[in-house]
């Protein structure tokens, strides 16, 4: 980050306060504390199940908000436009950053999997389905490498988002959907502005009150001032953990965008397939009013009974592993993208070591990882993206043209396509994953996805890990498949892109990681004290947390933050968060009970 080039903490703080006001986000609701989860850390320390229910309580408004949104002309227009894209063989592109950006890749993958899966059912329509498969061309800020490791600072540049739209090759007749939390991430806004400039039908899904955004954020105001950009409001309140938008924001985005895709696909199929063909395809989508109800049922199920009991066991299993300095490796084929999304997000959210490249034997090992037991790494990556990997092959000259910081120009980050393959998510033996004990192998059986080949890999490598469990969730087939099992039973409606299953996995893993980290002391009350400041938005978030908990002014908190930030050696980056280091220096105990 460019602030590493400033050596004096007072200069750095002064520059951030005076020149980066667009990143001061205390007025944004999704950056504020949620009263429903105020005592999360104290609650979950005493009662895991009660803490899980508290986290889920922050999702309460999602069904109501989406039910209202689905009735709007804007949402109905989005469904109509996606269907038109299918008919005209145009492009639909979802653009975002961070957790929402990884979800954009997930939407892309779900689209591609559905249309290619139809080829086996209706082989004479192969050419048609392949064409439709290629209509989806989504991206995340930083390119596909950002799926496995955050790309620092890229979201701070509108020019970067514009350039990715240029490279996506979109134009008149295509559809671009920007997925924004508060619209602070400049790259998202740049992408929708560029799409609008190019004649795309452009949508903007946003998760904060429009009047607050327009009043305080110039870079959002310019989006709302564009008459052709179609806004869809899906504000669901403050996050369960303050600032952790990977939870409620991305959940409501997935439900909204995913439902639009399924409804559009269903309409096209109903108009273009015969009655017999439709019987083979099965239920492509729920009715629009049924999606919020299905999500409410999912919430109710996870918050009680056998599912809550299973979630509690899973959280306590993972917590015990980490407290003993152990590692977790998730095993899945069908849901590798879903689980990679959550495990990647843990690094910047809780200041944990990021994923380590396969050939790297010296960097810190990530606490959690995910592997595909069926295919070698290069093939596993094909199944994650279901398209060629899209890297950013940008040169120093490109960064100059896009007005990047000098630090980026002088040392362009490695975000090319080849970077992704250096992370081994395939079935190769990776001794680093069981290099310290306890190392636990967690096999995911989602709707019966843990077939004989998956279980064979699990049983083969279980002795090397020393411990493990099979987590069985969703519609669970009868019969025991492993010695150690955890059950999270949920009745899931099955549709063309399996949207409700993906939402179940997302909620479950968000709960698993958030609850575990809260029990590990990496959340205080419901404040994200372990944030890793990889961009200016996260610097502001760090400063605000310090100010709130230490009861000092924003300016003093900013100076104290930069004392920690500028004083740390690179090798100590993941020692603990700058927030915790600063609070400790100021005499605040982040592990103390909440008064």
Residue 591 lies in a domain: no
**Could you report how far apart the first and last alpha carbons of the chain are, in Å?**
36
Contact 135, 90 (CB under 8 A): yes
Tokens 């930030």 sit on residue: 565
383 and 459 fall within a common domain: yes
Are residues 194 and 436 in contact, defined by beta-carbon separation less than 8 angstroms? no
Domain presence at residue 595: no
Is residue 1 predicted with pLDDT exceeding 60?
A: no
Q: Tell me the pLDDT tens digit for each residue of 416-465.
A: 999 999 999 999 999 999 999 999 999 999 999 999 999 999 999 999 99
Domain count of the fold of the chain: 2
In this prediction, residue 62 has a pLDDT band, given cuts at 50, 70 and 90, of very high
Gap between the Cα atoms of 241 and 33, Å rounded: 7
Do 473 and 562 fall within a single domain? no
CA 4 – CA 407 distance, rounded (Å)? 9
Residue 545: the pLDDT is 87
Note the pLDDT tens digit of each residue in 153-163. Answer: 898 899 999 99
The tokens of 228 are what?
């052709």
Give domain status of residue 593, yes or no.
no
What is the pLDDT, as a whole number, of residue 5? 67
212 close to 191: Cβ distance less than 8 angstroms = no
Domain encompassing residue 532: 2-33+527-585
Q: What is the pLDDT of residue 310?
A: 98
Mean pLDDT of 569-581: 79
Q: Is 592 within a domain?
A: no
Q: Which two tokens stand for residue 231?
A: 């806004």
Mean pLDDT of the region 93-114: 95
Strand partners, 206: 180, 233
The percent of residues above 90 in pLDDT, for the chain, comes to 77
Q: Is the residue at 390 inside a domain? A: yes
Q: Verify that 28 and 101 share a domain, yes or no.
A: no
In a domain, 268, yes or no: yes
381 with 444, same domain: the answer is yes
The pLDDT, as a whole number, for residue 32 is 83
Spatial contact of 178 and 189, defined as CB atoms under 8 Å apart = yes
Is the pLDDT at 97 greater than 80? The verdict is: yes
d(Cα 100, Cα 231) in Å, to the nearest integer? 17
CA dihedral 326, 332, 336, 338 (to 10 degrees): -80
- Which residue, among 159, 235, 238, 240, has the nearest Cα to 525 in the 3D structure? 240
Kindly state whether residues 418 and 551 are assigned to the same domain. Answer: no
Domain boundary among 521, 538, 562: 521
Q: Write down the pTM of the prediction.
A: 0.92
Q: Are residues 204 and 107 in the same domain?
A: yes
CA–centroid distance for 353 within its chain? 17
Same domain, 98 and 203: yes
Pick from 488, 521, 554: which residue ends a domain? 521
pLDDT of residue 3: 59
Closest by Cα among 106, 97, 74, 59 to 183: 97
Domain final residue pick, 521, 538, 556: 521
What is the chain's mean pLDDT, rounded? Answer: 93
Six-digit token string for 59: 């999702």
If asked whether residues 427 and 562 sit together in one domain, one would say no
One domain, residues 440 and 541: no
pLDDT on residue 4: 56
User: Looking at the domain assignment, is residue 54 inside a domain?
Assistant: yes
φ/ψ of 335, rounded to 5, equals -120, 30
Strands (E), 490-526: none
Q: Is the peptide bond before 305 cis (omega within 30 degrees of 0)?
A: no
Would you put residue 28 in left (φ > 0), alpha (ψ -120 to 50) or beta? beta
pLDDT tens-digit series, residues 137-151: 999 999 999 999 888
Residue 401 has pLDDT above 80, yes or no: yes
Confidence class for position 591, pLDDT limits 50, 70, 90: low
CATH of the domain at 442: 3.40.50.10490
Q: Is there a domain that residue 550 lies in? A: yes
């Amino acid at each position: 980050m460019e602030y590493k080039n400033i050596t004096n903490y007072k200069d750095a703080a002064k520059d951030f306060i005076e020149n980066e006001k667009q990143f001061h986000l205390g007025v944004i609701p999704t950056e504020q504390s949620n009263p429903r989860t105020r005592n999360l850390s104290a609650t979950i320390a005493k009662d895991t199940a009660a803490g899980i229910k508290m986290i889920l309580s922050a999702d309460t408004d999602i069904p109501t908000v989406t039910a209202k949104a689905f009735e709007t002309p804007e949402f109905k227009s989005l469904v109509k436009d996606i269907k038109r894209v299918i008919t005209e063989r145009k492009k639909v592109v979802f653009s975002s950053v961070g957790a929402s950006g990884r979800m954009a890749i997930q939407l892309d993958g779900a689209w591609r999997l559905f249309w290619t899966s139809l080829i086996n059912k209706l082989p004479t329509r192969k050419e048609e389905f392949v064409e439709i498969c290629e209509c989806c061309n989504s991206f995340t800020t930083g390119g596909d490498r950002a799926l496995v490791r955050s790309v620092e600072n890229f979201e701070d540049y509108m020019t970067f988002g514009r350039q990715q739209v240029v490279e996506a090759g979109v134009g008149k007749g295509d559809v671009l959907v920007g997925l924004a939390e508060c619209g602070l991430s400049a790259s998202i806004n740049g992408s929708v502005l560029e799409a609008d400039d190019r004649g795309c039908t452009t949508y903007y899904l946003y998760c904060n009150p429009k009047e607050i955004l327009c009043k305080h954020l110039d870079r959002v105001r310019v989006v709302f001032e564009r008459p052709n950009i179609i806004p869809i409001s899906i504000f669901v309140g403050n996050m369960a953990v303050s600032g952790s938008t990977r939870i409620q924001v991305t959940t409501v985005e997935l439900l909204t965008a995913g439902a639009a895709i399924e409804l559009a696909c269903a309409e096209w199929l109903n108009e273009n397939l015969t009655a017999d063909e439709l019987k083979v395809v099965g239920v492509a989508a729920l009715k629009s009013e049924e999606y919020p109800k299905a999500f409410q049922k999912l919430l109710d199920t996870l918050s009680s009974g056998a599912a809550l009991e299973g979630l509690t066991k899973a959280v306590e299993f993972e917590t015990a592993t980490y407290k003993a300095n152990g590692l977790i490796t998730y095993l899945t084929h069908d849901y590798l993208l879903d689980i990679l999304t959550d495990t990647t997000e843990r690094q910047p959210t809780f200041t944990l070591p990021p994923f380590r490249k396969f050939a790297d034997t010296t960097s810190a090992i990530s606490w959690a990882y995910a592997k595909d037991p069926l295919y070698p790494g290069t093939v596993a990556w094909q199944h994650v993206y279901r398209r060629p990997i899209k890297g950013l092959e940008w040169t120093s000259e490109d960064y100059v043209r896009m007005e990047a910081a000098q630090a980026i120009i002088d040392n362009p980050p490695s975000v090319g396509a080849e970077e992704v393959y250096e992370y081994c998510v395939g079935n190769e033996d990776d001794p680093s994953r069981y290099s310290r004990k306890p190392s636990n192998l967690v096999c995911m059986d989602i709707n019966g996805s843990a077939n004989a080949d998956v279980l064979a890999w699990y049983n083969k490598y279980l002795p090397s890990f020393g411990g493990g469990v099979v987590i069985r969730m969703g519609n669970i087939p009868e019969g025991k498949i492993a010695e150690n099992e955890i059950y999270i039973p949920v009745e899931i409606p099955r549709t063309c892109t399996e949207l409700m299953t993906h939402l179940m996995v997302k909620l479950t893993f968000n709960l698993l990681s958030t609850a575990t980290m809260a029990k590990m002391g990496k959340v205080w009350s419901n404040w994200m004290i372990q944030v890793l400041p990889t961009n200016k938005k996260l610097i502001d978030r760090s400063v605000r947390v310090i100010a709130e908990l230490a009861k000092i002014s924003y300016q003093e908190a900013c100076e104290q933050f930069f004392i920690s930030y500028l004083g740390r050696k690179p090798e100590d980056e993941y020692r603990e968060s700058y927030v915790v280091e600063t609070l400790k220096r100021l005499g605040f105990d982040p592990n103390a009970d909440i008064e």
